[in-house]
Structure 1
């Protein structure tokens, strides 16, 4: 009788050792129709206790396995070769499994924890709905389950990872979740980034700020009222810079002083910003020291290195992160 009992103990021990340890969250998966590929994975926002960053996952014959060193729960975004994505709730000491077909990536199922199962069920239930209707249902779920990690994932997926954001109900949902989950580090990190971004969404007004240009001119946002204003964020290291420079020259030539253009430089040094300002004939250039870590980046809710904000003469934001090819049309519409 001792040998079978001993064998059983070894079997249980081996089974337990196959799972991730308490400082690791594991994601495994099987994607039919995807033989060889590299998937990107990154957190919603950096949190203390997460030992990873932007990682690449190799898919071999449709299968993959990924271990994330973390001591805290967090949201991970898994990006496929076609740039579609799946939101995953990762928890230390637990494994979640993703499965689906490469031809229907939006229908991927994630199981392994109750939170991921609930999130998957919700996501699949609203697949055929419009973005607005899906947001309405997500808001209802969040208000009903403000203590759930599933609700945090819904906020991130349906109110953060969208092209066009709105101040409400996003801020009220954030407030509700923070009230019920005051120690959730991932939620706090999302809030710190997302709140200023939605406050500078279309329909809102620029926050109060003061900045100094390379020519030592003091700019105050309160002084922008009375003239349409375009705030441009750019950098020499950004691939969009060349095309953006051409568009800005055309706008300045066609519209002259009817449009105020403020250029925020995200270059790696002030010298680089000064060189680019001279070479590109840029005026009203504000150098943002420390680039994306500059406090003004957060104040203005910058989402992308090539972001922009367009306001009318009343100071109301009427355009946000417009594609470079659409900038001229929006400005011409404003100044017609």
Structure 2
């Protein structure tokens, strides 16, 4: 009887351990030259509820999350640069580096993270065209790797000069090896949306509601010059973009329309950031982050991102803040 009870206890303890650890993912980090601070973390599958904050003490931090399926976690540093971490159920990752050289961070603990670290080292001194060639070869050699989707999105989609045709082809290569990967399938669908919202195309038809409950629609932007942009309180570049748009709007004296879309999980944070930045145009914040309907419909997959419209036709997209200001001035 005693042996039987002991066996049941061991089995129960084992099941409990697997039930917790098997569906969790942990990140442990040690960053030199930073004593205390905060990082932000979010993911692209909705496993994290919005954005979490990671506390840094003595240069060390630990973050643990529920993880029922693989996802890509983005670690956002105080300088607003980002580091992808490829999460897997029941696994952990170790992040090491120097705060003064964040591009040289190493991430160990899973094959995908170690592969990404190796890839970053290989392209550290390459030009943008050469990096794209490396990405193409990577996808061809490793179509099963989750790293490929991140690389295609970063270097072929979320750039000032996106190559949607090449991106779609590379994603098809990955889907052939990952036919059940819903994230890849959604990315392929988003690329089709981007093609329909590319430069020289008509602005796709959409409707939504801003944070004050007022209806906003593509028809509101069909006459004159208008900007649609994404932003987030945790992204310095996007806040800089908002300020650039604010300057352009002031110079335009009523001739520039603006619609912003917040990649935020909290409407409270969204309102606070907008008040601090004196933005007075319609702003959409549905709390869905990158899964928002309008975001996917327009194919705006990064922060910051923008679409410049004149008389209902797209004349620019994914411009830098400086390029956006110049293009607006030329178009008014």
TM-score (norm 1): 0.68
1:5 matched to which residue of 2?
none
Q: Partner of 2:299: helix, strand, or coil? A: coil
Conserved? CA contact 1:30–1:100, under 8 Å: yes
The 1:61–1:164 alpha-carbon spacing in structure 2 relative to 1, beyond 3 Å, is farther
Q: What whole-Å deviation, never above 9, does each CA across 1:208-248 have from its counterpart, x for those lacking one?
A: 42669989999399xx6xx874344599x997778745633
Q: CA RMSD in A?
A: 4.5
How far is 1:120 from its partner?
0.9
The 1:195–1:116 alpha-carbon spacing in structure 2 relative to 1, beyond 3 Å, is farther
1:21 matched to which residue of 2?
21
How far is 1:189 from its partner?
4.8
How far is 1:90 from its partner?
0.7
1:250 matched to which residue of 2?
251
2:308 matched to which residue of 1?
310
Superposed counterparts of 1:228-307, under 5 Å:
229-232=225-228, 244=245, 247-252=248-253, 262-264=257-259, 295-302=293-300
The answer to whether 1:113 aligns with 2:92 is no
1:38 matched to which residue of 2?
38
Deviates more, 1:208-217 or 1:139-148: 208-217
Conserved? CA contact 2:190–2:297, under 8 Å: no
How far is 1:288 from its partner?
6.4
The answer to whether 1:177 aligns with 2:174 is yes
How far is 1:55 from its partner?
1.4
In structure 2, what is the Cα distance between the partners aligned to 1:67 and 1:137? 32
In structure 2, what is the Cα distance between the partners aligned to 1:217 and 1:123? 41
* Structure 2, unaligned runs of 5 or more: 1-9, 272-278
Deviates more, 1:148-157 or 1:204-213: 204-213
Superposed counterparts of 1:1-336, under 5 Å:
21-43=21-43, 45-47=44-46, 50-160=47-157, 162=159, 165-191=162-188, 193=190, 196-197=193-194, 200-201=197-198, 203=199, 205-209=201-205, 219=219, 229-232=225-228, 244=245, 247-252=248-253, 262-264=257-259, 295-302=293-300, 308-311=306-309, 315=313, 317-321=315-319, 323=321, 327-334=324-331
Conserved? CA contact 1:27–1:98, under 8 Å: yes
How far is 1:103 from its partner?
2.0
In structure 2, what is the Cα distance between the partners aligned to 1:220 and 1:55? 35
In structure 1, what is the Cα distance between the partners aligned to 2:113 and 2:219? 47
In structure 2, what is the Cα distance between the partners aligned to 1:198 and 1:65? 40
How far is 1:42 from its partner?
1.1
TM-score (norm 2): 0.68
Q: What whole-Å deviation, never above 9, does each CA across 1:46-72 have from its counterpart, x for those lacking one?
A: 34xx25441122222222221111110
1:6 matched to which residue of 2?
none
In structure 2, what is the Cα distance between the partners aligned to 1:106 and 1:80? 11
* Structure 1, unaligned runs of 5 or more: 1-9, 273-279
How far is 1:319 from its partner?
4.3
Question: Which entry has the higher C-alpha Rg, 1 or 2?
Answer: 1
Conserved? CA contact 1:167–1:199, under 8 Å: no
How far is 1:305 from its partner?
8.9
